[in-house]
């Protein structure tokens, strides 16, 4: 969903800062190109609108919030960025989860200051139930941001679930729910996500893309 958001905004001519925290930039680009093809877009027409800050490959950026925000501020000023995606924010407070609220609040205040529309992806903790506010970040970080969208997977493992979701036993369905939003009213029901998948020939074309793609990546070392 975050990749689809970034691709759509870039196609519309907007500059998007994408900060991968766990997936190196070259693999992310392969995924973005695959996503664009699945959506029926030519990635090359708008790839310059996507600005990558590769926190996954540069530990000093991932582990230092001040360094991360300084780099993002530079990208926003230089490239006139209006949209930001961080995937995932959970990786920024890895091994220091008791600081999760402080980290997210700092990111939130920064993004507000710079007038960014942002998606902060948060990973579910295994001990939390599916589709709960706790699963969408844990440690009550969802109360800091303006809105929380919760996604989950459901295995169809019984005839009852097969009838409920209209799928075969053994299938997996993806569920989506808006847990809360300060900015506007929203539907409170849980819905099924409609997946957009590329054609098989498109998959073949980009099979080895991650190893050879050229992309405008913000070099954090200045080289």
Domains of the chain: 2-145+200-218 (3.40.50.300)
Say which range, 24-28, 81-85, 146-150, 169-173, has the weakest mean pLDDT: 146-150
Peptide bond just before 88 cis, omega within 30 deg = yes
Residue 182's pLDDT band (cuts 50, 70, 90): confident
Longest distance between any two alpha carbons in the chain, whole Å: 58
Question: Model pTM?
Answer: 0.79
DSSP 124: P
72: number of Cβ within 10 Å: 25
Strands 117-121 and 217-218: unpaired
Residue 179's pLDDT band (cuts 50, 70, 90): confident
């Amino acid at each position: 969903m975050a990749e689809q958001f970034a691709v759509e905004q870039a196609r519309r001519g907007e500059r998007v800062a994408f900060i991968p925290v766990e997936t190196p930039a070259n693999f992310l680009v392969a995924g973005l190109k695959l996503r664009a093809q699945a959506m029926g877009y030519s990635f090359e027409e708008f790839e310059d609108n996507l600005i990558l800050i590769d926190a996954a490959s540069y530990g000093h950026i991932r582990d230092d919030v001040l360094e991360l925000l300084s780099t993002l501020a530079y990208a926003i000023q230089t490239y006139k960025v209006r949209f930001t995606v961080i995937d995932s924010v959970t990786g920024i407070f890895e091994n220091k989860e008791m600081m999760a609220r402080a980290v997210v609040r700092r990111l939130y205040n920064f993004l507000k200051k710079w007038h960014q529309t942002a998606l902060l992806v948060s990973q579910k903790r295994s001990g939390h139930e599916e589709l709960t506010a706790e699963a969408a970040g844990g440690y009550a970080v969802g109360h800091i941001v303006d809105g929380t969208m919760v996604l989950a997977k459901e295995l169809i493992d019984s005839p009852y679930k097969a009838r409920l979701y209209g799928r075969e036993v053994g299938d997996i369905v993806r569920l989506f729910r808006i847990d809360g939003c300060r900015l506007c009213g929203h539907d409170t029901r849980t819905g099924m996500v409609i997946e957009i998948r590329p054609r098989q020939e498109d998959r073949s074309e980009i099979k080895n893309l991650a190893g050879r793609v050229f992309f405008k990546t913000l070099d954090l070392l200045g080289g």
